[in-house]
Amino acid sequence: MVDAGAIVGAFEDGGYRLTSPRRALAGLIADRDSHFTAEELLVESRRRRLGVTRATVFRSLDVLADLGIVERLDLPSGEHAFVACEPAHHHHVVCSSCGRSAGVDDHGLEAVAAAIGRATGYRVDTPRLELFGQCPACQVS
């Protein structure tokens, strides 16, 4: 979904140092084709003997979320997870069954947010849409 190089590049562009744990995490995240939790990255990092510790996983995810490379998600199950973002897509549809996610284009969402702002008087800061559903593959099975 998202290239490891893009993640590494984001660290650099953001003025963060390029360390080997960060490179390792970039690889782990790039390998995911759906959402993932901090714990999953930690387990996978141990399995591959990458030597990234728990604290570093959390600290790095935090940085990447700030940089807009990953987005925090709250699954219907209540779990905290992340998805790697392609910059063009600000919103996601997440499959309730398998967790695979797809970035989605605007499709009128900004307009809806604006209408809601008008109706309620709120100044809407960060329209963030999380849709949950069944992905094509899971609809079949």
Partner DNA sequence: ATTTTTGCAAACCTTTTGCATGGAA
Partner DNA sequence: TTCCATGCAAAAGGTTTGCAAAAAT
- Which residue ranges make up the site for its own copies (CB under 8 A)? 72, 74, 76, 78, 93, 95-96, 102, 104-105, 107-109, 111-113, 115-117, 119-136, 139
Residue 74 binds to DNA (criterion: CB under 7 A): no
Residue 40 near residue 75, CB atoms below 8 Å: no
Q: Which does 18 bind (CB under 5 to 8 A by kind): DNA, its own copies, none?
A: DNA
Q: Which does 47 bind (CB under 5 to 8 A by kind): its own copies, DNA, none?
A: none
Q: Give the nearer residue to DNA in terms of CB position, either 56 or 101.
A: 56
CA 21/CA 32 separation, integer angstroms: 17
Least Å from the CB of residue 71 to DNA: 14
Q: Which does 64 bind (CB under 5 to 8 A by kind): its own copies, DNA, none?
A: none
- By CB under 7 A, the residues from 8 to 27 that bind DNA are 12, 16-22
Residue 7 carries which DSSP code? H
Among residues 50, 61, 49, 5, the alpha carbon closest in space to that of 30 is found at 5
Question: Which listed range, 75-83, 107-115, 116-124, 130-138, lies at the site for DNA (CB under 7 A)?
Answer: 75-83
Residue 97 carries which DSSP code? T
Among residues 125, 32, 108, the alpha carbon closest in space to that of 70 is found at 32
CA 79/CA 75 separation, integer angstroms: 5
